[in-house]
Each structure stands twice: as C-alpha cells, then as structure tokens.
Chain A
C-alpha cells in the first residue's frame, strides 16, 4: 500500500525506540502516515501542531503520565486515542477510558490486533463526524445482527428479537460505540442514568440476558465481548 497526503495521519507517543520502530513499520506498511513523539509533552505539542486522525499513546511515559496526555488533548480535541499498556494493569485502562481515551491495546499485541484497533478508532471518528453532519444514523449492522434504530427493531439472522427497554438501550449504546470498549461506569451512566455507577451487578445481569437473546452460543459470544476487569465491547467487523 502506498502512503500519500490523503491517507490518515497517526501520532505515536511512545518512549521506547524498538516499540516505536515496530509501530512505524507496521502502520506505514498498512498505509498510514506516522508522526512520532518520545515524550508526553512532545505528544501534546505535536497533536496540536499537526492534528492527527488518531493517537496511539503509551501510558508509561518518562515525563508526564499518559493519563495526563489524554486529559490535555481532550481539552480541545475529540481525536480518537488508543492507549497502550501492559496486561494486568486493568485499573489504569479503566481510568484512561474514563478520562477520555477511546480504546486500549494490551502489551504484547500482534499486528492484526493493532490494525483492528486503529481501524475502529478511525471509523468511529468518521461516524461521529458524519453523524454531526447528517444527524443520527438509523441503522446498525454487524454479521447477522441488525438494529433498526428508527423502528426500534432488532433482528438476528432475520428473526426479530424482543428486548426489554433497558436491554434495548444497552444494545443501542454499545452499537453507537461499536468496536470500542465501554467501561462499566460509562454503560451504567448511559443506560441507567447518572448516579447508578455502583450497580455493576445490574449491568452484568442485563448483559447476560441480552447475550442469551442475540448470541447463538452465549458462552462463545460473537458480538458482545467481555473485556475482563474493564468493560464490554460490541464488535463491528
């Protein structure tokens, strides 16, 4: 694939040189343009000077905390941010997502996973942009699952599925952010309203019910994935 000035620009904020090189090689090969920053401050600076289409941000930076970078960028920009951190630091990921990151990647990861996350991030940004231009999207489809938002109808492999109002709201919230991981706190706030953040078990109960309705094999879900310790994701490809 060739890169030209129209292909998406990605900002990679990462202090580790080999890691940076790997990202550069993999992403350039996939047709993206790359801008690199070694420190958090440099990252914030470059994001402002040459606004990227998405940011890949390592949480462990030498100067300022990665979370701080997310906060500062979010002050003026809605650019998708994908956070990179090690496994076992689920709490950091949740915090990063809650302060405005869009998604995360756990080290170590393969190229396929990396590219999938980048695609989701860019697509999501495009969807938000088109939504603000043309109003709410009316239809969402992935695999055999279809949601007709105008008609409030959900079908799977052509058969209509009956959802309770909360299940429906849960599914549409996930569909609006399809491909992205949504934290427990976010989902609770969106579906049940502010102040219900502590009732994670409710969310789990409804999600299990939803899964039983839309998944052929609830224990091996195709659409509704669990990110242990972080939240849920509705696949979009």
Chain B
C-alpha cells in the first residue's frame, strides 16, 4: 500500500511550510556615531561566520576607504553593487534583486537608515532588509542612534544637525539581536583626528558640526540607554512568557492628538516614547473639523506625513470628525479606555484662546479620570515651513451669481421703498440675499455679498441717491451694524454648509462601508464577491479598481475584469505581488515602488493575506494622492473585502477538509472490505487449484470438475467485486464523467439481460413496458451497471426460482424503472440504510452476505448524478421493490 510513501509526503510538506514560514534574523550593529567601529565589528562577525562555513555575501559596505575595513573584507564573497544613474551621478546601491536571486544564508548590508536612489524598488534600505528577512535570509546591518525616528528631534536639539535619514523604531525593535558597538568619545575624537573615520578634507567640517565632545557624550548616553531598555524589555518578555497568565504590565492606553502642522510630528514622537515607557498601546487621532476643508495642499500632505509617521512608529491611527475637538477626543478616549491623552501646547496668543476657546482647557475640564499631558509643539528646527495661507480656489461664476442675487435684492428693496416700507425692513431683504449666497456659494462670496449689499444700499436707497455720500450720519451706524451682522451670518451659514457637507461625507463613508458589508455578506461565488467589491470601490473612488487573488502557489493571478488591465503588466504585477507577500501597501503614493501606476493595498484577513487591491487614477480634488480620510476609508473597505474573501476561502477549505475526511473514511472501509472480500475468493482459488496440482489429487473426474467450477465461480465473484470497487472509487473521486446520450431504455435493459444471462438462469422474468417509452438521456454504461446491480441483488437476496419483475413507465416527465422480487423483503428502517456504503441487507443467504455492500451505493451515486431518485420499498404481498427515476428532457421526447 502507499502508506509509508504518504507519510513522507506529509513530512515534506511540513518541511516546505517551515521553510516558508522561517523568517531571516536581523542583527544590528548599533553605535552612537560614525567611526565607533560598527562596520568593523560586523565584518569581524562575518569573518567568523564565513569560517564556520555559512553561505554569506557582502551586499553592501560603505567604502570609507579605511584600511582595516578593507582588510576584513578580503576573502568574503561580495555581491556586485547596483549602479544607478541619478541626476548625472552614478550611485552605488545595494542590489536587492541580486541578493534575493542569489539566496545566501546571510547578507551584510551596511547603513540600515540609508535612503535609496529613486529608481530602486524601495525608498529606504530598511525596506530592502525587510524583504530579505521575509525571504528567510539573515541580515547583518549597522545603525547609528541618531537615525532612530523617535529620537529624531532630541538628536536635533542636542547636535543642532537635522538628520534626514530616519528609521522607524519598529524596525529597530523587531531586530532579533542588537550588538552595541561602543568606543569612548575621546578615543573616537582621536580616531577622527587621525583621519580614520572620514577622509581628511571632510573631517574638519564634520568635527565642527557633529563630533563635538558634548554631542558625542549625549549621543553615547542615548545609545547606551536604548540598548539597556531593549535588554530590559527582553527580560520582561521572558518573564511574561514564563508566566503567561500574568496581566499586561500596565493597563495604560495612550491617545495622542495631531494635526496638519509639522510640529505635530514632535508630539507623535513624544507619544511614542511615552508608550514605549509604559509599554502601552497607543492611538494617534486626527480630529477633522469644518476648518479642515480650507486646508492647503501642503498642509494636507503634512497631515498625510504625520499619519504615516504615527503608523510607522506603531500607533493605531484614527480620524475623528466634529467641530468640538475636545468633545470628540474625550468621547473617543472613553470608548477606547484611554488612560492618558497627549496634546501639543498651543503657541498662539491668549486672545485667540479667548475667542475660540482653548482645547487644552476644554480637555482638562472634561477629562475626568483621564490624565492629560501637554507637550511643547515646537517649531521645526530647520525653521518654520512657509505654508501658503489656506485659500480655497476662487470660483468667479459664483461671484457673478452672487452679484446678480444682490442686484435682485436691490431691485426688490427699491420696490419696497417705493411702496413706502422703512429702511429697517429694506435691510432685511439684503440680509436675505447674504444668507442665500452664504448657504449656496460659501464664505468668500458671502463676505463679498455683505460688502456689496452695503454699497448698493448706500448708492441706490440712502439719500442722496445715486451717490455714496451719506446725508444722515445715522446711516453710518446702520452700515456698520449691517456689515457685522451680514458677515456673522455669512460665516455661520457657510460653516453650517461645510458641516453639513462633512456629515454628508461621513454618512457616505458609513453608507459605503455598510453597503459593502451587506453586499458581501450574501452567499456568492468568490468571483462575484470580488466583482462586487471592485464595483463598489470603483464607484466611490473613480479610476479603475482590480482585486487580484493568488493561485495555490501564492502567485497573483492576472486581473479578471477588463477594468483591471492596468495591473496586468509585468511591472504592476510585481508591485502587487510584493504587496501580497509583505502585507504592506505599495505603489503610487507610498514609499515602496512609488513609480507604479496604481496604489496597491493588501487584503489582509484575520489569518492571512488573501489578495491585493489595485487602485489606479482615483478621483482626487487636486489629482494628488488620496487624502488621509479617504485612504482610511479605502483601507476599511479593503479590510471588509478581505474578510469576505477570507471567509469564502475558509469555507472552501473546510469543505475540502470534510471531503478529505470522507474520502479517507471511504478509503479505510474500502480497504477493509476489499481485503476481506478479495481474500475469501482468492483463498478458494488457491486452495482448489493447489489441490488439483497435488501429486495425490482426487482421481475422480466429478470432484475435479467441482474444484474447477469453484475456481471459476470465485473468479467471477472477484470480477464483480473489482468492478464495483473501481466504480465507487471513480464516482467518489469525481473522475467519472457522464456521457449522456438519448437512447431507448429497452436497449440498456437488453444488454444487461445478455450480460446476466448466467446469473438469471432459472428465474422467471416478467417485463412490463409502456409501448410509448420515449428516448431518455443517460449514460448507457452507468445505467447498465445500476440495472445489473439491482438484478444481481434480486437474485442474491431471494430464494432460487422466485420470479423477478421489471417495470418501466413514464410518470410526470420522469422515466420510472422498477425491479421487484418476491423474496423476504426489507426490514423496517432498512429502506434508507441499504443505500449506504458497506451496508449489506439482512436477508439472503451466505451468497448475499459475501458482497462488499457497495452495489446500492453505486446505484444511488449514478442515479443522483443523472438527476434522478432511487429508493426501496416493500411490496404488497411480499418482496422488495427498487425503483429509480430518470428525468425525461423536453428535447429528447420529440426525437425521430
């Protein structure tokens, strides 16, 4: 049998899976400044590994021209660097593709925080390293403390050098091993002076800016502390692992509020440090207010950057909306059991606070038992970024409409004045106009309308007419009040308008999510599911949408719909594939492969990445990347789609597993049945034939004949059994394909009767047919098998010589075929059970008990495959009847 072979296969599979699941290990040689000897230590370690026979390559090592380093490089196999032309300069870059293709066990990649040349796969080197690790390759790399994202602004404060190349803390935290490479600052300075760190010309400048003794001491402290923290965390984790049921060290949850200013980045970093200190989860929230709709493109980009920064630092990000920031923050904080809220210290005058209300004050008032921390939202060290004042685009047609409306109001006012109404009422007409304009066209036109109203009022309606001169100074007060009132009205109205719009937007978002969830909840095929999600997202985002699903090997299949054609090119598919494998967004508008035509988001379900969504050319107001709120909605939609797809996959898998269990069970019973039922006739054949071969074999011919007959009979029985076993395996494995043809039922009966001639000997057969039997669609060989099994049973289970009836007729568009006997009949409750596999009828002699119990199971499978029914019943007057039906198709009844 194939049992041992199968075990091997399973082992092989498990091994392959383990290989797949094995991630590479990341070791960081960590230092506080250039020149402490990180690269040197890394190479030393590499040499040791090389001696041990580890398959390693040098992916990239900064060529600082230090002789000691060069010496250590000798003998290590190196991967050729990639030459990249960028703005006329040839840059040497790490060749990620080359390394992945080479697949060594260990790769050395210097300078983890390095920023790649623009044409490479990723924006940052750490992303390259992530890919290596995901591919199961170990990586040695180096890192300086000043590159850590969360320390970025502290470093800037210490050294007044802005470090542009930063590394998300998460990468550092994920590292499997961090080796601190330390050198006392004085020794470092000596090495620097000796020109061992940078080539001499650069040394002076570098020393001035960065390598001041004080700086170095501070940086060293940072690096040491960070390494110590890491060790501390490791110890704690180990302790937790030992006592898994201990509660989470602290029950803190931190919420940080950020906005669209560059200084928010600092607050986010502060929150990260705080969260790390408490080992608490943290949430970064942006509160969208009606003022956000005035936001400039630059601010929006900054907001997006802040979002990403928070995500990179490991925060869960949310966007809340509402005009009262404090209320939204407190409500959300309570709903998430937040214990600490972190906000930036406002740097605006108290007057504005008085006018608009201070967020901090409002938070403090309502925070209750939640701690509120206020941190300084300092200006960026590199100087404040000049932001263009938020200004909506001026839409001149709106101003035209506004002028027309105010002119109309002036006409109406003149008419009212002519009718004798007083100025106070006439002014109301203008207010009406201003409110209308504000509601319709927004703030700008409304303000203009306010001014225009007063001018026209003065010019046409206030004596002296047709002049801006005013005879009665009283009117000046009227004008002033009118202007203020009009402006306030216009501001309020346009704010309502914006709020209404944003609540409509929110409603739309909720509606979209709800709609997607609802539509995907229905039972449908995977294909329909994908098409539905594509359609809904395309409706919301414009552009073109494709959802790509992987095949069994995890390779994305080409897009199914013509709309997804953008994702069909080799480049785009590679980006999508990366997204799937790394479960991270990539493509247009992201840091990874930003030159792709479309944005790709992974469909990550509860357990696995189940596909990728590609979005090309979405509609945006300025044609730029998706704003944060729409991106978030998209991610929520994608997640819903992912869950739906995953649910489908899981259901499919469950079904497969069920089928496998069923098949296994069948195989087991088949095996036991076959081994018994084959061995018995084999024993007879072997016994009888060996008797005949014996030297002293029975001499009389009668006995010899008897033995020969028993050999022949047993062979016949085995033939039938093998036939049935083959049939059931083919039926069960689904390998059986029906070849249905229209044919007369008598024909199949006639061929069965010829085949069973010997079996049916001595049995009176009564056949009753309707003369007008139509042609019926069926597979002749299969139905022959059904009839043969039924007749065979009828013979086996009834006394010799008892009659068998075969009746064929038509009822309700079904051909009904019945095989009936006059035997002992079926026991109550047996009618259903006998169609199960390996169940034998209770009646009948030894002949019947020797069957495998497959005959009726085969009949049922065949009839069901034909769309018919089969059942058994007892006959009035004794005996059993087996009836099956075959559907008579419309097209077959009219043949001839």
**A interface residue numbers (CB < 8 A to B):** 87-88, 90, 108, 110, 200-201, 204-205, 207-208, 211, 217-221, 225-229
Contact = CB atoms under 8 A, between A and B. Distances in A.
8 contacts: A88-B726, A108-B719, A201-B743, A204-B743, A205-B896, A219-B767, A226-B747, A226-B750
Contact of A221 (B750, B769, B806, B896): B750
B746 A218 contact: yes
Contacts, number: 63
B873 interface: no
Given A205-B895, A229-B780, A218 B775 contact: no
B741 A219 contact: no
A108 B781 contact: no
A208 B744 contact: yes
B723 interface: yes
A205 B747 CA distance: 10
A228 B784 contact: yes
A199 B723 CA distance: 31
Contacts of A226: 747-748, 750-751, 754
Contacts of B749: 219
Nearest to A208: B744
Contacts of A200: 741
B414 interface: no
B726 A208 contact: no
B781 A229 contact: yes
Contact of B747 (A88, A110, A204): A204
A213 B285 CA distance: 91
B249 to A, nearest CB: 69
B895 A201 contact: yes
Nearest to B755: A228
Contact of A204 (B726, B742, B750, B765): B742
Pairs of residues from A and B, 3 with the lowest C-beta to C-beta distance, nearest first: A226-B751, A201-B742, A208-B744
B748 A204 contact: no
A218 B712 CA distance: 31
Contacts of B784: 228
A219 B723 contact: no
A218 B751 contact: no
A220 B723 CA distance: 24
B134 interface: no
B203 interface: no
A217 to B, nearest CB: 8
A88 B722 CA distance: 11
Nearest to B757: A220
A64 B880 CA distance: 51
- Candidate in B719, B775, B780 with the most chain A CB atoms within 10 angstroms: B780
Contact of A201 (B726, B775, B780, B806): B775
Interface string B745-776: 01111110110000000000101010000010
B779 to A, nearest CB: 8
Contacts of A229: 780-781
Contact of A207 (B712, B715, B742, B747): B747
- Candidate in A87, A218, A219 with the most chain B CB atoms within 10 angstroms: A219
A198 to B, nearest CB: 11
A36 B712 CA distance: 26
A219 B767 CA distance: 8
A87 B730 CA distance: 14
Contacts of A207: 747
B750 A218 contact: yes
B715 A228 contact: no
Contacts of A211: 746-747, 750
A225 B746 contact: no
Nearest to A227: B751
Contact of A220 (B748, B750, B896): B750
Nearest to A87: B723
A208 B774 CA distance: 11
Given A201-B775, A204-B742, A219-B769, A108 B780 contact: no
A191 to B, nearest CB: 16
B753 A219 contact: yes
A56 B746 CA distance: 32
Contacts of A228: 748, 751, 780-781, 784
Nearest to A88: B726
Contacts of A110: 712
Contacts of A205: 744, 775, 895-896
A86 B49 CA distance: 63
Given A205-B775, A219-B750, A226-B751, 13 more contacts: A87-B723, A90-B781, A108-B715, A204-B744, A204-B747, A218-B746, A219-B746, A219-B806, A220-B767, A225-B751, A225-B754, A226-B747, A229-B780
A173 B747 CA distance: 19
A88 B720 CA distance: 12
A223 to B, nearest CB: 11
A229 B765 CA distance: 25
Contacts of B744: 204-205, 208
B565 to A, nearest CB: 39
Nearest to B806: A219
A87 B742 CA distance: 23
A201 B747 CA distance: 12
Nearest to A201: B742
B536 to A, nearest CB: 47
A229 B741 CA distance: 10
Contacts of A219: 746, 749-750, 753, 767, 769, 806
Interface string B779-793: 011001000000000
Given A219-B746, A219-B753, A225-B754, A204 B781 contact: no
A136 to B, nearest CB: 30
Contacts of B750: 211, 218-221, 225-226
A225 B754 CA distance: 8
A124 to B, nearest CB: 21
A46 to B, nearest CB: 30
B564 to A, nearest CB: 40
Interface in B60-89: none
A152 B143 CA distance: 104
A207 B744 CA distance: 10
Interface in B832-883: none
A108 B681 CA distance: 15
Contacts of A204: 741-744, 747, 775
B783 to A, nearest CB: 9
Given A219-B767, A220-B753, A229-B781, A208 B719 contact: no
Interface in B777-833: 780-781, 784, 806
Nearest to A220: B753
A125 to B, nearest CB: 25
B784 to A, nearest CB: 5
Contacts of B780: 228-229
A137 B210 CA distance: 116
- Candidate in A201, A205, A226, A229 with the most chain B CB atoms within 10 angstroms: A226
